[in-house]
């Protein structure tokens, strides 16, 4: 198969004239609003214990930050019905599971399937920040940010090809040209 022929994996995508991949979009209303945040606004360490901060929660997904001081750990974690993807944002982590231990540096990630007993240790000298995405989410509610600087959030909606394409797709779905 050539590079230009679509494969079975590309069934929901197509390519436009300038090489960008376009996706077939279903005529489905969004289940909520798009909410950009600066994760730094949610970093909240505690001298007493590792701290989990809930950034987002929907009926389908939760996004948490684990803020863990040196020599702290989360304790034993187990989510019977949820898969959790952990990504180290800053610091050095040690994930302990039933299968053993794995150390991850920033931008390292780990998938923990539902029901797996695990924990996160910070054996290093620096604070540890780990982002955790859980699906389906538990009942925990969203936490308020500890700051509202939002330095990482830009409004680029009027710029760039992707921004224009998203507006065009939504315009077409809503009957606007």
Residue 86 lies in a domain: yes
CB atoms within 10 A of CB 106: 14
Residue 10 lies in a domain: no
Q: How far apart are CA 57 and CA 67, in angstroms?
A: 18
Residue 49 lies in a domain: yes
Residue 110 lies in a domain: yes
In this prediction, residue 177 carries a pLDDT of 54
Handedness of CA 11, 13, 15, 19 (dihedral sign): negative
In this prediction, residue 1 carries a pLDDT of 47
Span 99-113, average pLDDT: 97
Whole domain around residue 111: which residue ranges? 39-135
Q: How many structural domains compose the chain? A: 1
**What does pTM read for this prediction?**
0.74
In this prediction, residue 89 carries a pLDDT of 98
Residue 108 lies in a domain: yes
Residue 48 lies in a domain: yes
Say yes or no to pLDDT of 126 above 90. Answer: yes
Residue 2 lies in a domain: no
Q: Mean pLDDT across the chain, nearest whole number? A: 85
> 149 falls in which pLDDT band (50, 70, 90)?
confident
In this prediction, residue 142 carries a pLDDT of 95
In this prediction, residue 119 carries a pLDDT of 98
Span 82-111, average pLDDT: 97
Residue 22 lies in a domain: no
> 31 falls in which pLDDT band (50, 70, 90)?
confident
Q: How far apart are CA 52 and CA 62, in angstroms?
A: 12
Q: How far apart are CA 171 and CA 158, in angstroms?
A: 14
Span 103-123, average pLDDT: 97
Looking at per-residue confidence, does 11 or 109 come out higher? 109
Q: Which CATH number belongs to the domain containing residue 129 in this structure?
A: 2.60.120.10
Whose tokens are 């390519």? That residue is 15
């Amino acid at each position: 198969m050539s590079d230009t022929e679509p494969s079975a994996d590309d069934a929901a995508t197509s390519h436009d004239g300038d090489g960008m991949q376009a996706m077939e979009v279903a005529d489905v209303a969004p289940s909520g609003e798009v909410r950009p945040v600066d994760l730094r606004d949610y970093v909240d360490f505690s001298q007493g214990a590792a701290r989990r901060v809930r950034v987002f929660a929907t009926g389908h997904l939760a996004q948490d930050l684990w803020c863990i001081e040196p020599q702290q750990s989360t304790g034993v974690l187990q989510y019977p019905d949820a898969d959790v993807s952990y990504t180290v944002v800053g610091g050095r982590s040690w994930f302990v599971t039933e299968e053993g231990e794995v150390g991850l540096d920033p931008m390292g990630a780990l998938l923990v399937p539902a029901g797996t007993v695990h924990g996160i240790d910070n054996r290093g000298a620096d604070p540890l920040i780990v982002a955790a995405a859980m699906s389906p989410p538990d009942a925990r509610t969203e936490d308020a940010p500890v700051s509202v600087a939002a330095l990482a959030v830009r409004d680029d909606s009027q710029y760039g090809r992707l921004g224009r394409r998203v507006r065009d797709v939504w315009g077409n779905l809503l009957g606007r040209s």
